[in-house]
């Protein structure tokens, strides 16, 4: 028998309330930290022209070659669900003139899409926060980004679980010279290379440094080293960055194998990594992309940024308690007239007091409703039944502690609730 049930598409995840709460926690904390550094939030389209990614991300990258969700719309225009955010951000600042003789500190959040093999912490639809600095060239900006991200880990309680890794990949000429030397070296071992590395040998040889295949990793031990090809300006930029981090007391490790998977990077590249997630150890990565604005027709503009994945961070936060939306009051009613009365009362509470109140929906015995009130996390229950209606009153029952239950006239209920929660707020601050 064929099931008629429709399930989520493979690699596209449903976010249950607990996981969504962790996403929200990360976003909320990031929003506070980013505001402290002067960043402004922007919104970017999920769909972009396919040519944007082939031009800026790199036609020979895995993302463009194998992982993009691309289709033609009704006008036969090729569109792509964004696989990353930086290309769209550069299009955004160019289109709106935000890069012309200006500096910008911008950030965004939302879903990205890549046709990858789904695994723990890695999905085909995944949420990212992107942070981008436009128009700033010095290593101080790179350092600020790294210190900002370190502050976010601290706020989230993850400082002891992550490590900063840095590298410099130099300018275009540095990478071209290194790439040629790497190809010359690896060509001697073509028969021993894994399939992906063999393909990259002629398309994007630097990506071979990212390989996870042990046999290829062994071949790379004696390969040319990128640092030997770095141009003097990039080397000074990197040395100055490291000096700032040293002065700030920010630890890091120089990792020559970091090249990032996108063609637009230059100079500094970095990753924040953890050993708590197995093979998917990178939780945040980025670097400089000084050539992208010019590639879209703007004037040469220095840029640097990073992206962090909410899915992997949420996994790291699983051991921490994440509080969902708090309910101050639970509304209980018995009978049609009482239900109508409770709904009106609940609107008054929200409007006049700014408190959260969840009202039991539909019929139900008082005992069953009170069980739900206890489970809601609310501090008190407001009860309207036959007796309360007859006296134009509400029963107020304490759900936490030993406060008991009291009958309160409807005419003074709002005032009493205001005093109660005002006093509670005062006590919590002391």
Domain ranges of the chain: 17-171+231-316, 329-423
Residue 230: which region, alpha, beta or left (left: phi > 0; alpha: psi -120 to 50)?
Answer: beta
257 phi/psi in degrees, rounded to 5: -85, -10
CATH architecture label of 329-423: 3-Layer(aba) Sandwich (3.40)
pLDDT at 15: 86
CA distance 347 to 166: 54
Contact by Cβ (8 Å): 283, 162: yes
DSSP E strand boundaries for 313-379: 329-333, 357-359
Residue 364 has which token pair? 């139900």
Per the CB < 8 A criterion, the answer to whether 251 and 240 are in contact is: no
Measured distance CA(13)–CA(220) in Å, rounded = 37
How, if at all, do strands 78-81 and 47-49 pair? antiparallel
pLDDT in tens, the chain (430 residues): 556 788 888 988 888 888 888 999 999 999 999 999 999 999 999 999 998 988 887 766 777 878 898 999 999 999 999 999 999 999 999 999 888 878 899 999 999 999 988 777 788 999 999 999 999 999 999 999 999 999 999 999 999 999 999 999 888 888 888 888 888 888 888 888 888 888 888 777 877 877 778 888 888 888 888 888 899 999 999 999 999 999 999 999 998 878 765 667 889 999 999 988 877 788 999 999 988 888 888 888 999 999 999 999 998 988 776 665 678 999 999 988 888 899 999 999 999 999 999 999 877 888 999 999 988 889 999 999 988 899 999 999 998 877 788 999 999 999 989 988 887 655 555 5
Three-class DSSP category at 106: strand
> What is the SS3 assignment for 307?
strand
CB atoms within 10 A of CB 81: 18
Dist. CA 31–CA 109, nearest whole Å? 10
Cβ neighbours, 10 Å, residue 133: 23
Side by side, the strands of the sheet bearing 125-134 are 40-41, 104-113, 125-134, 303-309, 282-288, 266-273, 163-168, 253-254
CATH T-level fold of 17-171+231-316: BirA Bifunctional Protein; domain 2 (3.30.930)
Side-chain half-sphere exposure of 230, counting CA atoms within 13 A? 20
Residues in CB range of 338: below 8 A, 6 or more apart: 384, 385, 386, 388, 389
Tell me whether residue 264 is exposed, middle or buried, using C-beta atoms within 10 angstroms of its C-beta: 0 to 12, 13 to 18, 19 or more: buried
Edge-to-edge strand list for the sheet holding 78-81: 47-49, 78-81, 69-72
| Angstrom distance (rounded) from CA 222 to CA 33 | 43
Kindly provide the residue ranges of all beta strands, DSSP E only, lying in 316-414, ordered along the sequence.
329-333, 357-359, 380-384, 393-398, 405-409
Closest CA to 255 of 142, 163, 130, 174: 163
Q: How far is CA 370 from the centre of its chain?
A: 38
- In 3D space, the residue among 22, 115, 31 whose CA is nearest the CA of residue 65 turns out to be 115
Residues 6+ apart with CB under 8 A from 237: 139, 168, 267, 268
Cα gap 274→271, rounded to integer Å:
10
**Is the Cβ–Cβ distance between 57 and 100 less than 8 Å?**
no
């Amino acid at each position: 028998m064929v099931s008629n049930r429709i399930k989520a598409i493979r690699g596209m995840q449903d976010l249950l309330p607990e996981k969504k709460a962790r996403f929200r926690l990360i976003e909320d904390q990031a929003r506070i930290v980013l505001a402290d550094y002067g960043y402004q939030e922007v919104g970017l389209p999920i769909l972009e022209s396919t040519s944007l990614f082939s031009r800026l991300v790199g036609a020979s990258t895995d993302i463009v070659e194998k992982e993009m969700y691309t289709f033609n719309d009704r006008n036969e225009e090729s569109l792509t669900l964004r696989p990353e955010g930086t290309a769209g951000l550069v299009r955004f600042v160019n289109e709106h003139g935000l890069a012309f003789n200006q500096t910008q500190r911008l950030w965004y959040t939302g879903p990205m899409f890549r046709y990858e093999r789904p695994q723990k912490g890695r999905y085909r639809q995944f949420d990212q926060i992107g942070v981008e600095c436009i128009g700033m060239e010095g290593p101080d900006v790179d350092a600020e980004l790294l210190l900002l991200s370190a502050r976010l880990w601290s706020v989230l309680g993850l400082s002891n679980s992550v490590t900063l890794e840095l590298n410099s990949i130099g300018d275009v000429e540095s990478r071209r010279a290194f790439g040629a030397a790497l190809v010359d070296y690896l060509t001697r071992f073509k028969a021993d290379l894994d399939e992906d590395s063999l393909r990259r040998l002629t398309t994007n040889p630097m990506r071979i440094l990212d390989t996870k295949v042990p046999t290829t990793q062994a071949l790379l031990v004696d390969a040319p080293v990128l640092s030997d090809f770095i141009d003097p300006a990039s080397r000074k930029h990197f040395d100055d960055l490291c000096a700032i981090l040293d002065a700030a007391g920010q630890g890091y490790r120089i990792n020559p194998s970091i090249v990032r998977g996108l063609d637009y990077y230059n100079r500094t590249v970095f990753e924040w990594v953890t050993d708590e997630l197995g093979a998917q150890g990178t939780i945040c990565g980025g670097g400089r992309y000084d050539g992208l604005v010019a590639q879209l027709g703007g004037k040469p503009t220095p840029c640097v940024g990073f992206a962090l994945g909410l899915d992997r961070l949420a996994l790291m936060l699983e051991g921490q308690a994440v509080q969902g939306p708090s309910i101050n009051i639970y509304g209980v009613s018995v009978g049609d007239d009482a239900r109508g009365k409770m709904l009106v009362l609940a609107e008054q509470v929200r409007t006049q007091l700014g408190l959260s109140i969840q009202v039991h929906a539909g019929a139900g015995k008082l005992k069953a409703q009170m069980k739900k009130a206890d489970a809601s996390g609310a501090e008190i229950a407001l009860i309207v039944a036959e007796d309360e209606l007859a006296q134009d009153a509400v029963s107020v029952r304490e759900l936490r502690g030993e406060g008991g239950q009291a009958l309160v006239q409807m005419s003074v209920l709002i005032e009493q609730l205001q005093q109660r929660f005002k006093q509670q707020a005062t006590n919590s601050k002391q």
